[in-house]
Structure 1
Amino acid sequence: MKNYRRSIATILVAFLSISVFGQRAIRVYQDDSMPMKDRVEDTLSRMTLEEKIAILHAQSKFSSPGVPRLGIPELWMTDGPHGIRPEVLWDEWEQAGWTNDSCFAFPALTCLAATWNEDMASLYGISIGEEARYREKDVLLGPGVNIYRSPLNGRNFEYMGEDPFLASKMVVPYIKGVQQNGVATCVKHFALNNQETDRFTVNVNVDDRALYEIYLPAFKAAVQEGGTWSIMGSYNKYKKQHGCHNQYLLQDILRKEWGFEGTVISDWGGTHDTRQAITNGLDMEFGTWTDGLAAGVTNAYDNYYLAKPYLDLIKLGQVDTTELDDKVRHVLRLTFLTAMNRNKPFGSLVSDEHVLAGLGIAEEGIVLLKNKNNTLPINLHKVKRIAVVGENAIKMMTVGGGSSSLKVKYEISPLQGLKNRIGTQAEITYARGYVGDIGSAYNGVVTGQDLSDNRSEEELIAEACALAEKSDCVIFFGGLNKSNQQDAESYDRLWYELPYNQDRLLEYLCQANPNLIVVNISGNAVAMPWVDKVPAILQGWYLGSEAGNALAEVLVGDINPSGKLPFSFPKKLEDCSAHSKGDFPGANGQVHYDEGIFVGYRWYESQNIAPLFCFGHGLSYTQFKYGALKADKKELTSSDKITFTVDVSNSGNRSGSETVQLYISDLESSLPRPVKELKAFKKVKLMPGQTKSVSFTVDKSALSFFDPEKHQWVAEPGKFAAIVGASSLDVKGKVNFSLKQ
């Protein structure tokens, strides 16, 4: 079986190549003091036509061959926006059977976005980059920054929410953290990949303004601010061309407008046409399906679109090598930055530092949605009997969900986390409550859990209620899981409500014990018809290996929750713009984003629709008071900046962190604009009684909209308002100012 580590054969060939070509050959892959452009051109000049073609496509599920004759090593990719995927067989998705490829699971990216903390994003990137480096991976296939358009999108848990500014700010430090390890990020899925239904074929119809204002900013930030070394194309179509070879996205926008110098990598199986792949910007092709007969195991990869078909076109004189050389330049640059980077660190796997990083991110991302009568934190001096109910209290969440499925060193369940923390301070009992997914394997990774339960729904409810009645408080762990039609790749959710009749169970639990705490484990918003009957609700996300410990620490008050929602929770699905204005998930191969720029809170505010929980919402165990919002000037010129300042005080009796959010409102726009848009945020930690001054400096770019007629960003002179708040709806201050011509 072929191994992903650099083969001895490659090393020997490299040694021989030095002997044959002399000292000049050393410069090809050793002299990293040379300018990158010179290294690339020198190597390119030494490659044969066949070698150039070879490095453009896969040689296995997750690797490309390099150039053995010149000592150019293979490139190895790995899934893992949240952890490093286990090794699979050379040509298959099933496990390779290694015993040393278990990883640490970091929280899903919805949780990272919920921290609203760029330092956490940097820590996340550094940590997962170290794990990828230790496993000798060159490209990490992530992070994902597709916008949260509908709560039914099964892959939302892998992304960073509904707001392009928040996603842009969080993705940049993640990228820099990963790449300081000599591992490339491959930011995905570029672009408009906002559903799983018909994801391989659906054509997205969206106006230019929405494209540039909502769906592209996080990718642009990843390129121009984060400096990502690679980008992954998307499966879906835009303007009737697939995202992996799309002239408009990859050439006109990514290369020409943004100046991207990195490598464009196809999503696995996302390539469909040789000529479009040649001309429309694709550099590396992975995962293309072959029929096993005409292109069997010995030549399957040679029959990829950017393999023999491309070579044949060149030899027949039907295309020249101009595009080929550009593609090879991009791949060589990627190779020099990663596989041939002699200064990269060794990395580490499941280290103590990674455990602390994952735990800290999870703690900061948990969102306290509701806390009536200070039900939380649990007072262990008074509460001595705790009933834990729900399948999600025990079910492993790191296995399943698609390409982000992991084989972890360990995973602490919520029930185990509570037992770890509470010990003998209180009696903890457990009831299943409902039976959801009893599956315990994905692509050969087996959890070892036996979740089978033959009891009826009535029996399960009766047991849970009996336990609740004799307990001081009840903690319900429910929500979604990583099964098909829930939070999972390849499938969208079928409905907005909780699955497995959890809503019915919760109605009974409310009657059995009013001291009920609901912990929603999901990467998506869910309907909560019982919201008024439940005093306390936590949004628990998919928190990775340290999930149970993080949740326990927040529930008992060791950690003061400080997460804020990165997307809105609508009361009902019809309130969401993609369902009331657009046509999610489309029909007849077409989906129309008729809501335009009005996505998430932009829509709810424009329509005066009250969400269940708004964007940016998140409570605390302490209280914060805001002073008056002040501006350092009343007028802003087009070349100037303006600074807004607000004092924030902790008026409670315990330390806590608050995310101060700055929104801008255009009061005189010639085009329809949202009521307000997020343009800055800052998370501050305050001790009891402490006050800090928080400042935001913005320029005219924060006032701009994309003018589709001019095809440029425009800041119109006129009146604006700066709005500071604890969420999109919890406004704490406002100040007017104007932009001069």
Structure 2
Amino acid sequence: MTLRHLAAATAAVCGLYAAGADKPAYLDESLPLEQRVEDALSRMTLDEKIAMCHAEGKFASAGVPRLGIPDLWMSDGPHGVRAEINWNDWGSAGHTNDSITAFPALTALAATWNPELSMAYGNAIGEEALYREKDMMLGPGVNIYRTPLNGRNFEYMGEDPYLASVLVVPYIKGMQQNGVSACVKHYALNNQERWRGHINVELSDRALNEIYLPAFKAAVEDGEVWSIMGSYNKIRGQHACHNDLMLNKILKDDWKFDGVVVTDWGGCHDTREAALYGLDLEMGSYTNGLTSESAFTYDDYYLANPYKEMLQKGEVPMSTLDDKVRRLLRLNFRTAMNRNKPFGSIHSPEHYAVAEAIGDEAIVLLKNAPVTKKGAPLLPIDPSRFGSILVVGDNAVRMLNEGGGSSELKVKDMVSPLDGMKSLYGDKVKFAQGYKAGRPMYDAVEEIPQSVTDSLRAEAVEMARNADLVVIFGGLNKNTRQDCEAADRIEYGLPFGQPELIAAIEAVNPNTVVVLLSGNAVEMPWEAKIPAIVQGWYLGTMGGQSLANVLSGKVNPSGKLPFSFPVKLEDCGAHSFGDICYPGDSINEKYLEDILVGYRWHDTKKIAPKYSFGHGLSYTDFTYGKAELSSKTIAADGSITLSIPVTNTGKSAGKEVVQLYIGDDKASVFRPLKELKGFSKISLAPGETKNVTFTITPDDLKFYDETTKGWIAEPGKFTAYVGSSSTDIRAKATFDYK
């Protein structure tokens, strides 16, 4: 319990109740939560209730000082606790004690396919939030990867709703066991940054329920998350932060969510809708949620004086206010008023170890071929094979935690890729910048003179000519129009002349490795000539160490892609129906690809990706045996198991992600060829075999029926596909559902 929380509680006990009266029920943590909430609610005035429903600072909302209920303090995430900003504006507070651990971005976490690491991730951030006296962390994000141009994809968990659902739950539980609320975002359909504040999304009920809602539903029903952040966009004509369908009917009625719905900063637009349609806490109004300010005060917020006036006039019922305050009190008692919380810690050795472990398992080996037919693959880097190593690229030394929007982080330590390579290979490593990317900015692009670009490229090419091995650390960064909030990417290809740099270096030295640091897929016209390609993500504080671990072979890569890499942008479903499908006409956008997102599109339309969902190579080899079913039939109230042996037939220990997909062979509605329904990450020593078992239930066979507004599984034949990726299927088995 922090000093500010202790002071608030003491005020209630020693002030209001100094005369010897019994301790009020709301302060008695031995009583049921709902009893405490009702007791506190009964003691509050109208003004105190209204004050709780809107911000009192950029990242704070009011408690009830008279009752000793502290305010709520929040911070941006989801990859670490953001540095302190001023109470009433977006300027830096200039503190010297707010440096933290930067954890890998959520695309990297998704690439681990490891729920245990997700639990460790959430717990570590929860501990850092505790130390920084935060009651709510604004994350994690689970919006679906629909297009590689979305500037905020790096904050999310990929293209598949099942994968995101499995990974978000332990993250939430890990964080909330510390008494810090996770705030899952952005609910929902915030799948692009362009026109995010007003674009109206139109989509089918099937796409909504099968693709875009499952991870949020899992967060509520399985993760028991304490808060949800609404998104900026409109859904079927109504803003998501006060949307009757999304908040009242689905979230609160169908899923029984008992927590707080908070706006994205500036996401509220109407007092009446905010009162009636499910919003509980309004933050950041009259700003763009990132940089802008206004002359309005907190009392001018939609849920402040305007709401009070509507309540007093009877234009909206008082029950709407009491419901909001109940939820806010519930959140407060779970977090700020929780006297059993530890103090937390920041940038500890334990947190660095968690960050490194996640990075180790996140890195995806996309390609690893020999330069000559009789040669060995380039990776891992054997120091006896290469006497000199040239590291190239702005991203080899760039602080990739900076920029990106609200996820920017101020770190105590940062191991760069160049640092990591030098720690292993010492004086063998030389460096050439190769390209320049400019300063990180949210709303402008620093133009780099062509003369500078040409000079840096020429220098790198000349140094590459004399090196035994070249490792290019390229990709994107957190500048605007890349992996950054508030704007989408404007091209699928690599920026800053990187394609020309890669081609020029490969032309003088075929021993070239390309490491992509990004949260998005990129176009690869150079891919055929590059023998080794690694997807290295944004890995945070320990990123350079994790990259060195994998490139050297100290760690055998086990990451798998959480989204597909289309060959070209037009191969992506969202880009196959013209502008109305993406980015929209500036007012409306129609999800015409419907349920065929990511690998579902590639599979069903027979459009091969460059690298498929679930793909990731290893330095060893895994052989799959025959898939065996416990029965050839599933009953409506039953289940069957599928078992398959997997053997490490290589020479080194490694981890493999065994993936289960299920396809409906004949349905009355259109369905994808197959959908992910299970996965298991296993560790195998050389020669070792493990039997991987999956349980298949009728829920795994269902689709959302738009006629009955519910989930159904139709009798018929189904196929189970088991493989190492969505395209690398190693075994199949068929069964009937009756």
- Please, what TM-score do these two structures have when normalized by structure 1? 0.95
List aligned pairs for 1:106-125, cutoff 5 A.
106-125=103-122
Alignment partner of 1:549 is 2:545: yes
* Aligned counterpart for 2:573 among listed residues 565, 571, 577: 577
Aligned to 2:400: 397
Aligned to 2:584: 586
Summarize deviations over 1:397-445 as a string: whole Å, max 9, x none. 0010000001110111111111112224xx1111111111234x789xx
The code of the aligned residue for 2:158 comes to G
Aligned to 1:154: 151
Q: Distance in 2 between matches of 1:537 and 1:382?
A: 19
Aligned to 1:137: 134
Q: Distance in 1 between matches of 2:254 and 2:204?
A: 18
2:56 match: secondary structure: coil
CA contact (8 A) 2:442 2:485 kept: no
Q: Distance in 2 between matches of 1:150 and 1:437?
A: 25
Q: Distance in 1 between matches of 2:265 and 2:237?
A: 19
2:4 match: secondary structure: coil
Summarize deviations over 1:309-367 as a string: whole Å, max 9, x none. 11111222322311110100000000000001112221110111000000000110000
Aligned to 2:736: 738
Q: Aligned pair in 2 of structure 1 residues 485, 5: CA closer, same or farther (>3 Å)?
A: farther
Following superposition, the deviation at residue 298 of structure 1 comes to 10
The code of the aligned residue for 1:315 comes to Q
Aligned to 2:162: 165
* Aligned counterpart for 2:473 among listed residues 472, 477, 487: 477
List aligned pairs for 1:197-236, cutoff 5 A.
197-236=194-233
Q: Aligned pair in 2 of structure 1 residues 299, 371: CA closer, same or farther (>3 Å)?
A: closer
Q: Aligned pair in 2 of structure 1 residues 9, 116: CA closer, same or farther (>3 Å)?
A: closer
The code of the aligned residue for 1:395 comes to R
CA contact (8 A) 1:83 1:103 kept: yes
Summarize deviations over 1:234-280 as a string: whole Å, max 9, x none. 10000111110000000010011111111111110000000000000
- Which sections of structure 2, spanning at least 5 residues, go unmatched? 371-376
User: Size of the alignment, in residue pairs?
Assistant: 723
Identity of aligned residues (%): 55
Aligned to 2:382: 379
Q: Distance in 2 between matches of 1:21 and 1:702?
A: 61
Following superposition, the deviation at residue 460 of structure 1 comes to 1.8
CA contact (8 A) 2:266 2:284 kept: yes
Summarize deviations over 1:382-406 as a string: whole Å, max 9, x none. 1110011111111110010000001
Alignment partner of 1:190 is 2:187: yes
Alignment partner of 1:438 is 2:434: no
2:261 match: secondary structure: strand
Q: Aligned pair in 2 of structure 1 residues 603, 734: CA closer, same or farther (>3 Å)?
A: same
Q: Aligned pair in 2 of structure 1 residues 100, 211: CA closer, same or farther (>3 Å)?
A: same
Alignment partner of 1:312 is 2:315: no
List aligned pairs for 1:353-372, cutoff 5 A.
353-372=350-369
Following superposition, the deviation at residue 130 of structure 1 comes to 0.6
CA contact (8 A) 1:204 1:239 kept: yes
Aligned to 1:649: 647
Q: Aligned pair in 2 of structure 1 residues 453, 397: CA closer, same or farther (>3 Å)?
A: farther
The code of the aligned residue for 1:202 comes to I
Alignment partner of 1:96 is 2:93: yes
Following superposition, the deviation at residue 6 of structure 1 comes to 1.9
CA contact (8 A) 1:234 1:243 kept: yes
Q: Distance in 1 between matches of 2:275 and 2:104?
A: 38
Following superposition, the deviation at residue 21 of structure 1 comes to 7.3
Aligned to 1:78: 75
Alignment partner of 1:500 is 2:496: yes
CA contact (8 A) 1:290 1:300 kept: no
Aligned to 2:342: 345
Summarize deviations over 1:500-543 as a string: whole Å, max 9, x none. 11101111111110010000010000000010000000000000
Following superposition, the deviation at residue 722 of structure 1 comes to 0.5
CA contact (8 A) 1:438 1:452 kept: no
Alignment partner of 1:326 is 2:323: yes
Q: Distance in 2 between matches of 1:8 and 1:332?
A: 17
Q: Distance in 2 between matches of 1:51 and 1:190?
A: 28
CA contact (8 A) 1:18 1:26 kept: no
Alignment partner of 1:673 is 2:667: no
Q: Aligned pair in 2 of structure 1 residues 585, 346: CA closer, same or farther (>3 Å)?
A: same
Summarize deviations over 1:595-646 as a string: whole Å, max 9, x none. 0000000001111101000000000000000010110000000100110000
CA contact (8 A) 2:139 2:183 kept: yes
Q: Distance in 1 between matches of 2:620 and 2:91?
A: 49
Q: Distance in 2 between matches of 1:266 and 1:485?
A: 24
The code of the aligned residue for 2:107 comes to T
CA contact (8 A) 1:6 1:74 kept: no
Q: Aligned pair in 2 of structure 1 residues 9, 680: CA closer, same or farther (>3 Å)?
A: closer
The code of the aligned residue for 2:398 comes to K
Q: Distance in 1 between matches of 2:726 and 2:454?
A: 41
Alignment partner of 1:55 is 2:52: yes
Aligned to 1:446: none
- Which sections of structure 1, spanning at least 5 residues, go unmatched? 444-449
Q: Distance in 2 between matches of 1:33 and 1:667?
A: 54
Q: Distance in 2 between matches of 1:453 and 1:181?
A: 49
Following superposition, the deviation at residue 143 of structure 1 comes to 0.2
Aligned to 2:612: 614
Alignment partner of 1:272 is 2:269: yes
Aligned to 1:447: none
Aligned to 1:19: 17
Following superposition, the deviation at residue 485 of structure 1 comes to 0.3
Aligned to 1:127: 124
Summarize deviations over 1:576-604 as a string: whole Å, max 9, x none. 00000362111131111000000000001
1:227 match: secondary structure: coil
- Please, what TM-score do these two structures have when normalized by structure 2? 0.96
1:456 match: secondary structure: helix
Q: Distance in 1 between matches of 2:217 and 2:11?
A: 40
Summarize deviations over 1:475-517 as a string: whole Å, max 9, x none. 0011100000000000100010100111011111111100100
CA contact (8 A) 1:233 1:267 kept: yes
1:42 match: secondary structure: helix
1:684 match: secondary structure: strand
Aligned to 1:564: 560
Following superposition, the deviation at residue 37 of structure 1 comes to 0.8
Q: Aligned pair in 2 of structure 1 residues 452, 586: CA closer, same or farther (>3 Å)?
A: closer
Q: Aligned pair in 2 of structure 1 residues 707, 290: CA closer, same or farther (>3 Å)?
A: closer
Following superposition, the deviation at residue 290 of structure 1 comes to 7.2
Following superposition, the deviation at residue 299 of structure 1 comes to 7.3
Q: Distance in 1 between matches of 2:287 and 2:10?
A: 32
Summarize deviations over 1:626-677 as a string: whole Å, max 9, x none. 0101100000001001100000000011000000000001001111100100
2:47 match: secondary structure: helix
Aligned to 1:177: 174
The code of the aligned residue for 1:505 comes to L
1:23 match: secondary structure: coil
2:366 match: secondary structure: strand
Aligned to 1:520: 516
CA contact (8 A) 1:17 1:25 kept: no
1:498 match: secondary structure: coil
Summarize deviations over 1:204-240 as a string: whole Å, max 9, x none. 0110000000000000000000000010011000011
